């Protein structure tokens, strides 16, 4: 496992925030134009940009094609956020007990 430089107590940035705050202004395009270029609805883009929707593999591929970025980089951002959010709810997993590994023969 790779050691991250990011503070583990800080919530990771949602991929939609990167699109909203960095990508759209740099490209000087609107949400509507982004939706049209990606081939998705304006609502889909709006929900992603406002962090009401997780970034899917399908959307990651669309962004890869449009922006020349890797789908994997977008998915890693979403994965980091998903895991961070899950770790904020330890009680949800409290009843799960670790399996013991069998003794070596």
Whole-number Å distance between alpha carbons of 15 and 60: 10
Whole-number Å distance between alpha carbons of 9 and 91: 17
Tens-digit pLDDT profile for residues 36-72: 999 999 999 999 999 999 999 999 999 999 999 999 9
Whole-number Å distance between alpha carbons of 3 and 35: 35
Domains and CATH numbers, the chain: 15-89 (1.10.260.40)
Secondary element (H or E) of residue 15: helix 15-18
Q: Any idea which residue has 């430089």 for tokens? A: 5
8 Å CB contact between 101 and 77: no
| Reported pTM | 0.85
């Amino acid at each position: 496992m790779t050691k991250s430089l990011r503070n583990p107590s800080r919530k990771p940035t949602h991929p939609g925030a990167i699109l909203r705050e960095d990508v759209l202004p740099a490209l000087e395009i609107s949400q509507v134009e982004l939706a049209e270029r990606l081939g998705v609805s304006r609502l889909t883009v709006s929900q992603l940009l406002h962090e009401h929707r997780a970034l899917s593999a399908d959307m990651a591929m669309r962004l890869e094609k449009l922006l020349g970025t890797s789908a994997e980089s977008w998915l890693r951002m979403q994965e980091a956020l998903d895991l961070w959010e899950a770790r904020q709810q330890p009680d949800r997993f409290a009843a799960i007990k670790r399996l013991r590994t069998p003794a070596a023969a």
